[in-house]
Amino acid sequence: MKVFEKFRLAIKKSDSLVCVGLDTDIKKIPQFLLKEKNPMLAFNKRIIDATSDIVSAYKLNSAFYESQGLAGIETLMETRKCIPSDVIAICDAKRGDIGNTSKMYAKSAFEIMGFDILTVNPYLGTDAVAPFLEYEDKGVFILCLTSNPGAYDFEIYGKEPIFKRVASFANEWNKKYGNCGLVVGATMSDFLSDIKGIAPELPWLVPGVGAQGGSVEDVIKYGGENLVINSSRNIIYASSEENFAEKAREEALKLKDEINRHRKNI
């Protein structure tokens, strides 16, 4: 099964476009978990157990795990194993380098850690992206238009903004490989229709909703339903008490319900 077929099935099964970002910071998890052998893993597992039936994807930002050394890498891999097989597992590592190096990054994410989809930086061009796309049963989300203020430095700069060229190239890569999507920031509502016009069939991974202030309504208006909307801090840190997993579920449900209200209008 192609990974974006699994992506759409996950959305259909859960009736949800919610992606929970497991950007787990050891300094922010409930203090009572610190007595556990692996506090980060215990935190992640309880979040997953509480939400896996109401979300379509989880996104693990590798930096939060790499910062903990070997133990953190082990936690990343063990957390991946906790994600149900019918829910999409995304590694957010923004990899991208010359061809031989990209091959090793791809092997790490897909073969060793077993993620479904990896975020990829296209800055080095086609030969740097191809090693990721060559995994036929895996997928990539290409950084197109990110949600941070610095996106204006390069991505949106000039008469022919880079994000449009990235979307165009990604659209062509997808015609060849069939496993390419785009990272599109919710805070960039002025440009969402441009991206949809250039690459209308490509799925989106949408950060920037919640703490960053992006609009769910705009994302659904321009992006449709072939996407997942990521929320990290608003969900996983909804409580620092023993009920943190239950509160995380409540926040995930709130986001799911908000998204689904707007889905009815498209």
**pLDDT at residue 203 greater than cutoff 70:** yes
Residues labelled catalytic: 94
CA distance 147 to 153: 12
**pLDDT at residue 263 greater than cutoff 70:** yes
Three-state DSSP class for 224?
coil
Residue-wise pLDDT for 30-75, tens only, equals: 999 999 999 999 999 999 999 999 999 999 999 999 999 999 999 9
Residue-wise pLDDT for 121-173, tens only, equals: 999 999 999 999 999 999 999 999 998 989 999 999 888 899 999 999 999 99
Q: Are strands 227-231 and 204-206 parallel, antiparallel or unpaired?
A: parallel
What's the mean pLDDT in 210-218?
81
**Average pLDDT of the chain?**
95
Dihedral angle sign, alpha carbons of residues 41, 214, 190, 152: negative
Domain ranges of the chain: 3-261
Is 218 in contact with 206 (CB distance < 8 Å)? no
pLDDT of residue 211: 66
Torsion of CA 85, 90, 95, 98, to 10 degrees: 40
pLDDT of residue 109: 98
Helix (H) or strand (E) holding 39: helix 39-51
Which CATH architecture describes the domain 3-261?
Answer: Alpha-Beta Barrel (3.20)
Q: Are strands 180-184 and 117-120 parallel, antiparallel or unpaired?
A: unpaired
Structure tokens at 133: 């796309």
